[in-house]
């Protein structure tokens, strides 16, 4: 999890030091979130067409993760999600994601 913690630290640093990142809101990032989701779908559609398709998938998954982390950080800054240290509430989002996933899986039993 060291790489993930480092990524979270980068997000925290960007929100403090980068003028563009500082002024972003959920609303201003929404179009980027949608764009990254479509780029991920495009990468998934091209899987197997070449060795580069898997590298592209990795890149697009990373871009979407960045969007999720930015939205989590903004939510914690606005007190929508409590934040502790560098976690930017990702730990709080993970159980919700798991619950959501499990509730949408017909064969899943806890």
Q: How far apart are CA 102 and CA 96, in angstroms?
A: 10
Q: How far apart are CA 71 and CA 43, in angstroms?
A: 23
Q: How confident is the model at residue 109 (pLDDT cuts 50, 70, 90)?
A: low
- Concatenated DSSP letters for 15-45? HHH-HHHHT--HHHHHHHHHHHHHHHHHHHH
> pLDDT for 52-95, tens place per residue?
888 899 999 999 988 988 898 898 888 876 555 445 555 555 55
Q: In the chain, where are the structural domains located?
A: 2-103
| pLDDT at position 83 | 56
> pLDDT for 28-39, tens place per residue?
999 999 999 999
Q: How far apart are CA 74 and CA 39, in angstroms?
A: 23
- CATH pick for 2-103 out of 3.40.50.720, 1.10.287.1080, 3.40.309.10, 1.10.760.10: 1.10.287.1080
pTM, two decimal places? 0.73
């Amino acid at each position: 999890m060291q790489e993930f913690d480092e990524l979270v630290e980068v997000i925290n640093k960007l929100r403090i030091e980068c003028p563009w990142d500082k002024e972003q809101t959920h609303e201003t990032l929404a179009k980027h979130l949608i764009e990254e989701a479509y780029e991920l779908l495009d990468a998934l559609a091209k899987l197997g067409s070449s060795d580069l398709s898997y590298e592209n998938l990795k890149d697009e998954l990373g871009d979407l993760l960045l969007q999720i982390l930015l939205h989590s950080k903004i939510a914690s800054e606005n007190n929508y999600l409590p934040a502790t240290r560098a976690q930017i509430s990702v730990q709080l989002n993970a159980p919700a994601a798991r619950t959501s996933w499990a509730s949408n899986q017909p064969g899943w039993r806890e």
